[in-house]
Amino acid sequence: MDIASFVTSLVTSFVIFVVLVLVFTWLSSRPGNAPVYYPSVLLRGMDPWEGRGRGTRSPVGWLRQALSASEGDVVAAGGVDAAVYLVFLSSVLSILVFSGVVLLPVLLPVAGTDHALETAALNSDKAPQNFTQLERLALGNVRVKSLRLWAFLLAVYWVSFVTYFVLWKSYKHVSNLRAAARSTPDVKPEEFAVLVRDVPMPPPDQTIKDSVDSYFRALHPDTFYRSMVVTDHKKADKIYQEIEGHKQKIARAEVVYAESKTASKPEGTKPMHRIGFLGLIGKKVDTIEYCNDQIKELVPKLEAEQKTTLRDKQKQAAIVFFNRRSAAASASQTLHAQMFDRWIVEQAPEPRQIIWPNLCKKVYERQIRQVVVYGIVFLTVVFYMVPITAISALTTLEKLREKLPFLKVVVDQPEIKTVLQAYLPQLALIVFLALLPSLLMFLSKSEGIPSQSHTVRAAAGKYFYFIVFNVFLGVTITSTLFKSLTTIIDNPTGIVNMLANSLPGSATFFLTFVALKFFVGYGLELSRLVPLIIFHLKRKYLCKTEDDVRAAWAPGDLGYNTRVPNDMLIVTIVLCYSVIAPLIIPFGVAYFALGWIIAKNQVLRVYVPSYESYGRMWPHMHTRIIAALLIYQTTMVGVILLKQFLYSPILVPLIPISFIFAYITHMRFYPAFAKTPLEVVQHDVKETPNMDAIYTAYIPACLRPEKLEDVDIFEDAQSHTTSRAPSI
């Protein structure tokens, strides 16, 4: 791609960005859009405008606000996970800044003042204008064997050690963040509970519930509170949903009915609907009456189903409650059974993020599922290459013209041509990447993971490897990769050389890619045009009741499973090019600076976390960054070797160093993320917690009794003998 189209792409994306920001500042200042731009603020029951005078109206109001917000505010608004995500962005940012301040002033002149390209051009007597200013400022412009390579070699060391330093600091910070958040005195149900899986089949005369009770009461006589056996409540849930649906219908109908009572026609028209397929066929009925009848019918059915579920559909898993946090914590870490495949105990997930059907999967089944899933993922990662190569082959404009001659008319107009030339490949890539996450989420779920947050982490991990392998390696080595795959097997060094060969070439591609991603991507992110439009449409045509409206602007959460890997891709790209083409660093800085400030704004105002894992995402981010660093280091060894630079082996020690660093950090910090340190939960909550409330928090909606007092009845329904501990 030539310099012209590169600049075009930059300029255009920047323009788009500015426009979007302006749109945002304008729209967000209009009260009608508050639900779109301040949902989380509203949900926390605050007035988005209060105490911010006209400052908010000013285009930089949101900016000032986001900057001024402390980490405490972030935690309060979006939970520890959001805070950790911001830490991730900021630490990558600081890695890049620290690298940039040294690399840019040093490497750019060193490269720019050399003449490898000219000489090459002259030798191959091409016109010198077919390499750009950019390429002149990159490693490619340094002569082979030139002593200038020392600068690049040392630069790699600098970047690596900056990374180590920042990562260590951040890990420590996050670890304290997590500890602080967990040792707060307020009651969190999951801290009083443990999840028990692989409960052995009890003797026929007692229910699973009974055996769980007796087992845990024997092992934890003083601290055991009570237990809840996981049941298969699909059927009950179905009925429950039906009832809810009818209730909703009634609510809507009543609103409609009320509106229909005009002055002219005071009695109004009762809303009707057909009971047949999609309300299109079948006999017409009065909605309100009909639904009420339905409910009357369903309620007893539900109650009956609840009873049978509790009694007869008990699964071999349970949630056990303790009356002290520390007790639960140490119970969740202690081996209970002599045989490993019985009574497996682990920390209980938050009630809201439990994946019920996964709880009762047996240990061996889980293992097998995991193996299968990994197999599938591996295949996906490898064979997604096929379409991607096709795309990147297709999207060179000339090819496109041949393939689709009718495009000529459009394409041959120069300005369109440049724009297309600038964007087509990147667009293709981005579109293509949008397809995957849901598949990966599904796969991770079917591994048998008990909690939502864990699934997200698993999916993010898979997505990262996919994205790095396919986008980064894929684009860099496009078609040659298949050959390389075979070469990898018999000599792993082959891949390095290949990378080294093809990296410098596609530098500009990634420059534009990054620019596009942050300008347009973040622009859209900030301005929330899509949600805005949807919201207004819904409210205009669909929403009848308040609940409908609320549903219409429900913001959802950040969706780490795609967000993090995408950022990680940028990290990988920027790191790998940081020394080859230092010009990419400013772009990376811009990406993460913007990303950080916008994410912070969104966390404070928009997104509502759907779960809280106290930053368990961090260890994954940490290892991924190190993975990126390793890719970077290996490539650099190759790149500088190709310059026939004798001293390039000096880079090799970096690779073991990275592994050691990874190992030490893991050993030092990870246990506090995987388990709950006693230190953290030692301060037991001040007032004795309301254990009944904690218990009820775990009862699935469709089984939940109306009144809190009924909890005991609920529990007794599970066991033959009423075996309950005296609640403290």
Which residues neighbour 700 within 8 Å (Cβ) at sequence distance 6 or greater? 233, 237, 356
Please, what is the minimum distance in Å from the beta carbon of residue 183 to a copy of itself? 9
Q: Does 184 bind a copy of itself (CB under 8 A)?
A: no
Please, what is the minimum distance in Å from the beta carbon of residue 494 to a copy of itself? 14
* Dihedral sign for Cα atoms in the order 587, 588, 593, 598: positive
Query: At 249, which amino acid appears?
Result: K
Q: Does 263 bind a copy of itself (CB under 8 A)?
A: no
716 is written with which tokens?
Answer: 């007794």
Nearer to a copy of itself, 49 or 670 (CB): 670
Among 334, 438, 688, 721, binds a copy of itself (CB under 8 A): 334
Q: Concatenated DSSP letters for 487-526?
A: HHHH-THHHHHHHHHHTGGGHHHHHHHHHHIIIIIHHHHH
Nearer to a copy of itself, 175 or 392 (CB): 175
Nearer to a copy of itself, 342 or 544 (CB): 342
Q: Which residues from 13-72 bind a copy of itself, rule CB under 8 A? A: none
Among 108, 672, 697, 699, binds a copy of itself (CB under 8 A): 672
658 is written with which tokens?
Answer: 């990275």
List the beta bridge partners of residue 319. 195, 228
224 is written with which tokens?
Answer: 């055991």
Rounded-to-integer distance, Cα 224 and Cα 637, Å: 58
Nearer to a copy of itself, 58 or 682 (CB): 682
- Bridging pattern class, strands 284-286 and 272-274: antiparallel
Among 224, 240, 535, 669, binds a copy of itself (CB under 8 A): 669
Q: Does 179 bind a copy of itself (CB under 8 A)?
A: yes
Please, what is the minimum distance in Å from the beta carbon of residue 396 to a copy of itself? 40
Rounded-to-integer distance, Cα 605 and Cα 77, Å: 8
Q: Does 630 bind a copy of itself (CB under 8 A)?
A: no
Angle 507-516/3-28 helices, nearest 10 degrees? Answer: 10
Give the full edge-to-edge strand order of the sheet including 193-197.
224-231, 314-322, 193-197, 344-347
Nearer to a copy of itself, 432 or 670 (CB): 670
Which residues neighbour 39 within 8 Å (Cβ) at sequence distance 6 or greater? 553, 554, 555, 605, 606, 608
Nearer to a copy of itself, 259 or 679 (CB): 679
Nearer to a copy of itself, 369 or 539 (CB): 369
- For 371, phi then psi, to 5°, come to -55, -50
Please, what is the minimum distance in Å from the beta carbon of residue 383 to a copy of itself? 24
Nearer to a copy of itself, 218 or 280 (CB): 218
Nearest partner of 617 among 467, 465, 456, 462, judged by Cα: 456
Q: Does 668 bind a copy of itself (CB under 8 A)?
A: yes
Rounded-to-integer distance, Cα 510 and Cα 394, Å: 18
Rounded-to-integer distance, Cα 532 and Cα 272, Å: 32
Angle (CA) 197 201 203, round 5°: 145
Q: Does 676 bind a copy of itself (CB under 8 A)?
A: yes
Three-class SS string for 115-156? CHHHHHHHHCCCCHHHCCHHHHCCHHHCCCCCCCHHHHHHHH
Nearer to a copy of itself, 329 or 495 (CB): 329
Q: Does 339 bind a copy of itself (CB under 8 A)?
A: yes
Among 52, 336, 362, 536, binds a copy of itself (CB under 8 A): 336
Q: Which residues from 139-178 bind a copy of itself, rule CB under 8 A? A: 175-176
Query: Which residue stretch of 130-138, 141-149, 503-511, 672-680 sits at the interface with a copy of itself (rule: CB under 8 A)?
Result: 672-680
Q: Does 329 bind a copy of itself (CB under 8 A)?
A: yes
Rounded-to-integer distance, Cα 203 and Cα 201, Å: 7
Please, what is the minimum distance in Å from the beta carbon of residue 617 to a copy of itself? 18
Distances (CA, A) of 151 to 147, 212, 504, 572: 8, 66, 17, 21
Nearer to a copy of itself, 87 or 331 (CB): 331
Nearer to a copy of itself, 128 or 375 (CB): 375
Among 165, 340, 374, 647, binds a copy of itself (CB under 8 A): 340
Query: Which residue stretch of 303-311, 337-345, 649-657, 685-693 sits at the interface with a copy of itself (rule: CB under 8 A)?
Result: 337-345
3-class secondary-structure state, position 320: strand
Neighbours of 533 (CB within 10 A): 11
Please, what is the minimum distance in Å from the beta carbon of residue 370 to a copy of itself? 12
Q: Does 328 bind a copy of itself (CB under 8 A)?
A: no
364 is written with which tokens?
Answer: 């061996």
Q: Which residues from 679-698 bind a copy of itself, rule CB under 8 A? A: 679-680, 682
Among 115, 301, 417, 675, binds a copy of itself (CB under 8 A): 675
Rounded-to-integer distance, Cα 624 and Cα 91, Å: 13
Nearer to a copy of itself, 542 or 678 (CB): 678
Q: Does 489 bind a copy of itself (CB under 8 A)?
A: no
> Helices then strands (H, E): number in the chain?
35, 6
In whole angstroms, what separates CA 435 from the centre of its chain? 15
Q: Which residues from 696-725 bind a copy of itself, rule CB under 8 A? A: none
Angle (CA) 114 119 120, round 5°: 110
Please, what is the minimum distance in Å from the beta carbon of residue 672 to a copy of itself? 5
Residues touching a copy of itself: how many (CB under 8 A)? Answer: 32
Query: Which residue stretch of 79-87, 158-166, 255-263, 673-681 sits at the interface with a copy of itself (rule: CB under 8 A)?
Result: 673-681
Look-up: residue for tokens 């405490």?
72
Please, what is the minimum distance in Å from the beta carbon of residue 534 to a copy of itself? 44
Q: Which residues from 185-244 bind a copy of itself, rule CB under 8 A? A: 218-219, 222
Among 15, 19, 60, 678, binds a copy of itself (CB under 8 A): 678
Please, what is the minimum distance in Å from the beta carbon of residue 682 to a copy of itself? 5
Rounded-to-integer distance, Cα 214 and Cα 128, Å: 84
Site string for a copy of itself, 544-563 (x = CB under 8 A): --------------------
Q: Which residues from 638-667 bind a copy of itself, rule CB under 8 A? A: 667
Catalog residues that contact a copy of itself under the rule CB under 8 A: 175-176, 179, 218-219, 222, 326, 329-331, 333-341, 667-672, 675-680, 682
